[in-house]
Amino acid sequence: MTLLVAGWVAIDEIETPFARIRDSLGGSATCAALAGSLFTDVRLLAAIGEDFPSIERQKLEGRAIDLAGLETIPGGKTSRWGGRYHFDMNARDTIYTELGVNAAWKPVLPPGWAGSETAFLAAGDPVLQRDIIGMLSSPRATMVDTIKFFIDAAPAELQETMRTADFVSLNESEARELARTPSIARAGRVLLDAGPKGVLIKLGEYGAAFRSYQDYFVAPGYPLEEVIDPTGAGDAFAGGFLGYLDTVPHITSGEIRRAVIYGSTVASFQVEGYGPARLLTLTRGEVDLRYREFRALTHFEVEE
Amino acid sequence: MTLLVAGWVAIDEIETPFARIRDSLGGSATCAALAGSLFTDVRLLAAIGEDFPSIERQKLEGRAIDLAGLETIPGGKTSRWGGRYHFDMNARDTIYTELGVNAAWKPVLPPGWAGSETAFLAAGDPVLQRDIIGMLSSPRATMVDTIKFFIDAAPAELQETMRTADFVSLNESEARELARTPSIARAGRVLLDAGPKGVLIKLGEYGAAFRSYQDYFVAPGYPLEEVIDPTGAGDAFAGGFLGYLDTVPHITSGEIRRAVIYGSTVASFQVEGYGPARLLTLTRGEVDLRYREFRALTHFEVEE
């Protein structure tokens, strides 16, 4: 089985209350691909410029990630993002976004990739997301992520894309805005009515809520004493979620619940380093250990 | 077994984005006592003025709550609080606080009440909270709650009171401030080092985290499509938590986890009405049903 990850591979500049990191490997697809590669074979579909450092490419080459779809655009510049976090790390400001090669990227699937069973369309132009889903012959699970920019800029296109995806993931403020309700539970229902089979609402350090017509699952966040950098946590969540789902024989509600916990687990590692640094050394064994810890942290019995 | 609840019985004025309620039964002790009375016999220790409406007193008389400690201060005025909630109900402003009889209340335990096995000291002067704990002969579980006002106004007294209590409960922003860290997990550890046997950090709609030296438990919030009024949710949580604990033969980590879920369950009902209105009609059967729903919402298996 294979997980296709499409989105941005970028260079980030990150400022937290404790440090400032420049020229750091970043991008939604980078984090999701690294997370997914802990579970299954990943295909990375993204565009970079000729300026993309070979040392960063080597980091991706060391994992179970097929880079045949990582296209270097002649004369192009790699996308860049700069962000600054507030004291409690729950809020951030975008300082700049340089689209670079992603301003006009027209993704083309390498031969054989149309058969990918699972696909993650990281936040991006909803038309592009829909086009990529359309290139797949018979995907078993597709997930579309989005951000406030596209909710504001292309709401109708986003709605259309949500209808073509199996799962939609977004963070709680985006869910509230898109569904026009302050209630996370109601937002899940409203977004589900828009067409996908399941809606994953990411609650940052508070965990996540998954809603489908068959199931409602709420998972708390893994309690971390220190968060180094939250950048990419949502994409790592998606990569872990879909990476795990790609490996199961049947996508049941029980497997989706496990996938949420795997996603949450990988996201909890992601925030322990700058950008995807922690994911570069993370092993499946460490993930499974923390998954079990998650269960120990959350388990309770119905009264005897 | 008996749960002593000490704190405020007040009259509230509440403004939400959807309604404005005047002259509503309120107060920390009111909500905690009503919540606790779903599980065990409650003793209410609080002061009211001669102006306290008899219709509100009748609401309390209809439950398993001993009102021998509800002292009417001659010539005194009942405490009043007015608050306004923001659009997403996660933040509120206090419009006014009229201390009334609570400005100079000197609680005296009615005969026989010193033997109360369980006690909740709702947010208040930490010296008063400590005095009341000192009046108990051999309590099995005591919990102290606090708010930003006392963290700012009497930090040393609060630290001393935390050493005398079994459990401390506070909301996340208060925990972060008192422990001087943005991390909820670290705040739990820092506060635990201050003396109590367990720290309950309330996360509002996101649930709660409980930390002791033996255990760490994280529980998500119950997903509600509509929140009417969050006032008193934390006190209802405490009442449910201690009310359940009062009934168990041995206070184990497993029972504390159940108590957290019972607290969270009762709090989820509390916010479904203005003030404690929903608790006045709530039954233990409804609580047990939602407790089981909670388990269904959160349960997941370790991979086969």
Render pLDDT for A158-217 as a digit per residue (tens, 0 to 9): 999 999 999 999 999 999 999 999 899 999 999 999 899 999 999 999 999 999 999 999
A248 touches chain B (CB under 8 A): no
Q: Tokens 């367990």 correspond to what residue?
A: B198
| Measured torsion, CA atoms of residues A260, B264, B215, B175, in degrees rounded to the nearest 10 | 100
- Residue A83's SS3 state is strand
What integer pLDDT is reported at residue A49 of this predicted model?
98
Q: How confident is residue B301, by pLDDT bands cut at 50, 70 and 90?
A: confident
Upper half-sphere CA count for residue B59 (Cβ side, 13 Å): 20
**Which residue pairs, CB below 8 angstroms and at least 24 apart, start in A20-25?**
A21/A229, A21/A274, A21/A275, A23/A53, A24/A274, A24/A275, A24/A277, A25/A56, A25/A59, A25/A275, A25/A276
Q: Is A148 on the interface with B (CB under 8 A)?
A: no
Instruction: Spell out where chain B has E strands.
Output: 2-6, 10-15, 20-26, 41-49, 65-66, 70-73, 79-85, 92-98, 118-121, 141-145, 167-171, 198-202, 208-212, 216-219
Residue ranges covered by each domain of chain B: 2-171+230-298
Contacts of A301 in chain B (CB under 8 A): 254, 257-258
pLDDT given for residue B303 in this prediction: 64
Name the 3-class secondary structure at B212.
strand
Q: Which residue of B has its CA nearest to A226?
A: B183
- Do B200 and B240 form a contact (C-beta atoms < 8 A)? no
Is the CB of residue A156 less than 8 Å away from at least one CB of chain B?
A: no
Residue A105 banded pLDDT, cuts 50, 70, 90: very high
Whether the predicted pLDDT of B20 surpasses 60: yes
> What's the rounded Cα separation, in Å, for the pair B9 and A90?
35
Q: What is the mean pLDDT of chain B?
A: 95
B chain contacts of residue A182, beta-carbon cutoff 8 Å: 87-89, 227
Q: From A180, which residue of chain B is nearest by alpha-carbon distance?
A: B88
| Cβ–Cβ below 8 Å for A226 and B189 | no
| pLDDT value of residue A62 | 86
- Predicted confidence band at B235 (pLDDT cuts at 50, 70, 90)? very high
Q: Residue A67: which residues within 8 A CB-CB, separation 6 or more?
A: A44, A57, A60, A61
Q: How far is B187 from chain A (nearest CA, A)?
A: 8
Chain A interface, mutation test: which of B300, B301, B304, most A Cβ atoms within 10 Å?
B300
Length of chain B: 304
C-beta atoms of A186 and B219 within 8 A = no
**Fold held by A2-298:** UDP-N-acetylmuramoyl-L-alanine:D-glutamate ligase (3.40.1190)
pLDDT of B90 above 90: no
Q: What percent of chain A has pLDDT over 90?
A: 94
Instruction: Select the CATH number that applies to the domain covering B2-171+230-298 from these four: 3.40.1190.20, 1.10.1580.10, 3.40.1080.10, 3.40.50.1820.
Output: 3.40.1190.20
Tens of pLDDT, residue by residue over A54-92, are: 999 999 998 999 999 999 999 999 999 999 998 878 788
The position carrying tokens 């990569």 is A239
Contact A297 B225 (CB under 8 A): no
Confirm or reject contact between A86 and chain B (CB < 8 A): no
Across the interface, do B218 and A221 touch by the CB < 8 Å criterion? yes
